[in-house]
Structure 1
């Protein structure tokens, strides 16, 4: 069984949490936002005896919290056959729903109960129904005389309860039979909380009924979790479950024989004890019977093992580093999964900051182990983390970002359907694996490319830009930015975007090359698309015209010669050396990006004024002239000549054959234009 929905009320900082969950759930957020409280709520659902009055939501300006009820409601699906059979009363439509409710009584004592939800048929009575009959049908414990005057109902009652009191179960059966005789009474199926207590999570504690729940906290000494001598340690529970079914039938039979022999040897003393005991009780006219009960092998022979780690000298685990201790713990989980693939038991695994004390390389390995565990049908994982290693950008459906509003925890869940952009996200990860940092950011500055990133790095290194609460992400291209914005908007992460305007019209752009104009038009339209994706409550854009490189004064020749990042670095260094005002403008621009509250408009120019888009119908694009065409041809001829001087005789012959083949094809087509003439063929000749 796996949890598919969680509803929590008044537990610690969780005033109200109501979310669907999946097989692998990641909870992120700043410290003290209540992430771990979600894990503790699930754990206490399984083990409510650990609840205390301190676990109730504490509100300011509330003196008496006794009326406040704590509720933890879990809905389970994917039940095993055993779990389904053991919860038959509550199983409906593939799920069971159980609520733990706790309250503080007048004496200040904490009370708790589990109750399951059941499906019940509620009759929809017509307006002309006899009110006495309706009242009788709604009475759970009527008297026999109450049926007088309702002959058909009375007959049903006498068939089911020939004599004696009518109890609640009898009345349910009476109503079902009566309704079967009266199909004109419509019924509505409703979900009701059963008044009877559900004991699956308290008395039986049977893994075949409710599964097992492990909680590995972050701040506790991991040695405690690994102490195999402690029955409650997670590793002890894992080893017990691994070794539970190892006994063979021969071993079990031998144990039964030994147990019978021991019982026979004890029987004589037990008979003497019983005789003396009963003699003492004669005054009360009563007696006792003392019986020897059978025990299981696991009870008679509890696991008592010790683990020594041998790296030259056998050493107890608690003498090793904390990182190794936690690493060993996760390896136990991996082994347990491998050994129990066919086991009919469900496991809910709760991990608080599994990255704690671990080297980044081990963090990545642990993240893979936990993800692989959740892929197994019997496992489900809930993880709180401050590490990007545990974020899977391709599976964001169950990533929760926690934050605090006043004294209560608020949750934002990614509601973005990623199927359409999954491949694009894979590409982004190839360029920048650290993009996962966005899930741990208070706010984000999204930059278009390497030029902007280079300047931001320089300003950070020089102490001119405070990014203590900001993540700066390079989108690698303007065309990637919409993908980022969809994720930011879904997760409610505040952001600022810096992009180039890329105008394609005069007088700003004068290149007459049609393909260049087409490319610029696409880039400009992408700017408009990005502007349309901005959530007014989260984001703002700064648009630089025509682009950041020209704003900085970097020439095309410099970028070709040094590469863009180096050219930008050298240019900025040159501007600083000459005390150019552009340096001040750049510093002001980036400080505005990390402090977007300084911007008054959704889309701004670098100076803070509002940016206005240009209507395509009102702009003029550069027009190609004959001189431009002639210059382009001359440039091609110049290029061909440069190539020709470096070609071998064999390469020239190969090119001639290629063009001769083209001539034959053109002749077959009876082209009206002579394809054998022109700068290319003249050059070849």
Structure 2
């Protein structure tokens, strides 16, 4: 089964929100918007953790119920057949709700788990026993199944069968919430959760004195059983037992001489002081081999030299914590020949990871999510972890509305145009593969989309240009300049930004190349000029800033016979602006006016 949706009410900073999930889902948004809160809410429900006062908004329950509702779909056939799960389903979905209340005086927190399912509403289901005894069917039923509550419910299945046979009209099927105890009813039904928080200490993960630590679970469930299968383990136990007997003086060869001498001297000294006859001996008790192995064991990273993990870098420590949790998840999710689904909740996977490994990290997480029974949900600030090109629905943008409530926006695959000659998703997918920074636009408060690196190079000097030209650019700090990596990628990016509700501006070349109207009509449908119309369609009321004819023509005035270099355009454009800022060259008034218009459009 897969988690398809969660509804969260009154949990930490979230008053109310709903989120749909894919096999691989990334939550993005500004800091302190609630991305980690969503993961914490899922972990709380799926791992049966009890909320505390701190988990209510502003630490003030104010009589409000905390409610987290999870919907699971895509159940496998064996899950639907399993009695412990099938009885909890509603139309092939498992819907689980956790509600928590807090007593205003005692601050005691009470929780209740329930499922929304269809069930047969027998007369005794909603009545107390005393009230049921007054029911018109009680006399008939008590003759067959007993008058005491104990006798009546001793084999309730037979009572239900009798009712279904003779009084089916009094046993309607209803759909409603039914309270269920998590450990008894739900723990083996819901997926196993694997939670990787942003902050942790590796010594807690590796602590071998805590039986619930990831390392202890790994050792007890996987490592030690493998050790016990080895022939040497039985020899080890025999030697340990014989040593224990020798310490007690019960070994085949008698006591250990040096030990016996020491204990005899202790006995003589005590008897001399206390004036009585006694003997001191060493008692080891039963040696618990498994506990001894666990206490003596630790993981070492071998890279040129053996290094204890607490001395490894944070990236290595966090990667190992993930590996430990993943290994345990596989083991703990096993149920005979069948396995529970696994949901990975990964908070900011990019933390401490070297930049060149980011692509590999994304590939690992996506590949995990494609495995049967595996789902990955992560919060991130990294454009490298966005998979919107392959699965547009995987990106969830969180932000606040005018009332301060958290809202979720997403896009669907249907927004992209796809035909034999033009596929917007492929353009976006290619751009994200070769220019991951394109995804920065989805994180932006306000995005400025440009065609390529030349524009990006010039806009890196936007603040200095504005100061020199006397242009007011009030939204400069709120604007992220993003290179689309090509003109035909811009329509797909704009459709995505529109779907996510991200404010944007667009700057692109006209690409007319001095062609007449009749020549323009003959251009191939994928000529850069043809993209102008599609870009304009996505801009709505925000007209794009169209440069006649290419971006370089702003800096090199053709009317004054200035010729832009045909090679190394990004560097040459950046260098020309830098030289202008430093007073080494001057630009024509026409170029300055165009730059003023460009900056004003882009940042105001």
State the TM-score, normalizing by the size of structure 2.
0.72
1:490 aligned residue (499, 502, 510): 499
- Please name the residue that 2:321 is paired with: 329
- Please name the residue that 1:592 is paired with: 600
- Please name the residue that 1:383 is paired with: 378
2:13 and 2:58 in contact (8 A); partners too? yes
- Please name the residue that 1:118 is paired with: 117
Using the TM superposition, give the Cα deviation of residue 32 of structure 1 relative to its aligned residue in structure 2, in angstroms: 1.2
**Secondary structure of 1:111's aligned partner:** strand
Q: Which stretch has the larger CA shift, 163-172 or 430-439?
A: 163-172
Using the TM superposition, give the Cα deviation of residue 297 of structure 1 relative to its aligned residue in structure 2, in angstroms: 10
2:425 aligned residue (418, 422, 425): 422
Q: Which stretch has the larger CA shift, 457-466 or 488-497?
A: 457-466
2:398 aligned residue (402, 425, 439): 402
Using the TM superposition, give the Cα deviation of residue 495 of structure 1 relative to its aligned residue in structure 2, in angstroms: 0.8
- Asked if residue 7 in structure 1 is aligned to residue 7 in structure 2, the reply is yes
* 1:206-249 deviation per Cα after TM superposition (whole angstroms, max 9, x unaligned): xx554432322222223422334433333433444434864889
- Please name the residue that 2:588 is paired with: 580
- Please name the residue that 2:256 is paired with: none
- Asked if residue 51 in structure 1 is aligned to residue 51 in structure 2, the reply is yes
Higher relative contact order (CA 8 A, sep 6+): 2
Using the TM superposition, give the Cα deviation of residue 415 of structure 1 relative to its aligned residue in structure 2, in angstroms: 3.3
2:556 and 2:591 in contact (8 A); partners too? no
- Alpha-carbon distance change, 232 to 96 in structure 1, aligned in 2, over 3 angstroms: same
- Alpha-carbon distance change, 307 to 470 in structure 1, aligned in 2, over 3 angstroms: same
- How well do the aligned residues superpose, as a CA RMSD in angstroms? 4.6
- Asked if residue 355 in structure 1 is aligned to residue 356 in structure 2, the reply is no
Q: Which stretch has the larger CA shift, 547-556 or 363-372?
A: 547-556
- Asked if residue 102 in structure 1 is aligned to residue 100 in structure 2, the reply is yes
- Alpha-carbon distance change, 115 to 587 in structure 1, aligned in 2, over 3 angstroms: same
1:72 and 1:99 in contact (8 A); partners too? yes
- Please name the residue that 1:413 is paired with: 410
Using the TM superposition, give the Cα deviation of residue 23 of structure 1 relative to its aligned residue in structure 2, in angstroms: 2.2
1:193 aligned residue (161, 177, 196): 177
Q: CA separation in 2, counterparts of 1:491 and 1:13?
A: 21
- Alpha-carbon distance change, 300 to 363 in structure 1, aligned in 2, over 3 angstroms: same
Using the TM superposition, give the Cα deviation of residue 164 of structure 1 relative to its aligned residue in structure 2, in angstroms: 4.8
- Please name the residue that 1:215 is paired with: 195
- Structure 2 gaps, min length 5: 239-287, 419-423, 468-472
- Alpha-carbon distance change, 510 to 91 in structure 1, aligned in 2, over 3 angstroms: closer
- Alpha-carbon distance change, 496 to 187 in structure 1, aligned in 2, over 3 angstroms: farther
Larger Rg: 1
Q: CA separation in 2, counterparts of 1:467 and 1:378?
A: 45
- Asked if residue 366 in structure 1 is aligned to residue 361 in structure 2, the reply is yes
Q: CA separation in 2, counterparts of 1:383 and 1:456?
A: 32
**Secondary structure of 1:519's aligned partner:** coil
1:558 and 1:567 in contact (8 A); partners too? no
- Alpha-carbon distance change, 545 to 510 in structure 1, aligned in 2, over 3 angstroms: closer
Using the TM superposition, give the Cα deviation of residue 68 of structure 1 relative to its aligned residue in structure 2, in angstroms: 0.6
Using the TM superposition, give the Cα deviation of residue 490 of structure 1 relative to its aligned residue in structure 2, in angstroms: 1.7
Using the TM superposition, give the Cα deviation of residue 445 of structure 1 relative to its aligned residue in structure 2, in angstroms: 0.3
2:552 and 2:564 in contact (8 A); partners too? no
Q: Which stretch has the larger CA shift, 301-310 or 552-561?
A: 552-561
1:237 aligned residue (217, 228, 237): 217
Using the TM superposition, give the Cα deviation of residue 103 of structure 1 relative to its aligned residue in structure 2, in angstroms: 0.6
Using the TM superposition, give the Cα deviation of residue 44 of structure 1 relative to its aligned residue in structure 2, in angstroms: 1.4
**Secondary structure of 1:386's aligned partner:** coil
Q: Which stretch has the larger CA shift, 340-349 or 221-230?
A: 340-349
Q: How many residues align?
A: 526
The residue correspondences of 1:521-536 to structure 2 (distance < 5 A) are 526-534=531-539
Using the TM superposition, give the Cα deviation of residue 550 of structure 1 relative to its aligned residue in structure 2, in angstroms: 4.5
**Secondary structure of 1:87's aligned partner:** helix
Q: CA separation in 1, counterparts of 2:551 and 2:306?
A: 62
Q: CA separation in 2, counterparts of 1:335 and 1:46?
A: 18
2:18 and 2:408 in contact (8 A); partners too? no
* 1:333-362 deviation per Cα after TM superposition (whole angstroms, max 9, x unaligned): 566689899762433222222221221123
* 1:7-54 deviation per Cα after TM superposition (whole angstroms, max 9, x unaligned): 111000111122221222211222211111111111211345452101
- Please name the residue that 1:472 is paired with: 481
Q: CA separation in 2, counterparts of 1:137 and 1:176?
A: 15
- Alpha-carbon distance change, 172 to 568 in structure 1, aligned in 2, over 3 angstroms: same
* 1:174-213 deviation per Cα after TM superposition (whole angstroms, max 9, x unaligned): 89866776889996752x11145343489xx6xx554432
Q: CA separation in 1, counterparts of 2:97 and 2:225?
A: 32
The residue correspondences of 1:248-647 to structure 2 (distance < 5 A) are 305-311=297-303, 313-332=305-324, 344-392=339-387, 393-405=389-401, 408-417=405-414, 420=418, 421-449=424-452, 451-459=454-462, 467-501=476-510, 511-512=515-516, 514-519=518-523, 526-534=531-539, 541-545=544-548, 548-555=551-558, 558-559=563-564, 561-562=566-567, 564-565=569-570, 568=573, 577-595=585-603, 598=604
**Secondary structure of 2:376's aligned partner:** strand
1:27 and 1:35 in contact (8 A); partners too? yes
2:71 and 2:93 in contact (8 A); partners too? yes
- Structure 1 gaps, min length 5: 124-134, 148-152, 259-295, 504-508, 599-685
2:65 aligned residue (63, 69, 83): 69
Using the TM superposition, give the Cα deviation of residue 470 of structure 1 relative to its aligned residue in structure 2, in angstroms: 2.6
Using the TM superposition, give the Cα deviation of residue 413 of structure 1 relative to its aligned residue in structure 2, in angstroms: 2.8
2:192 and 2:342 in contact (8 A); partners too? yes
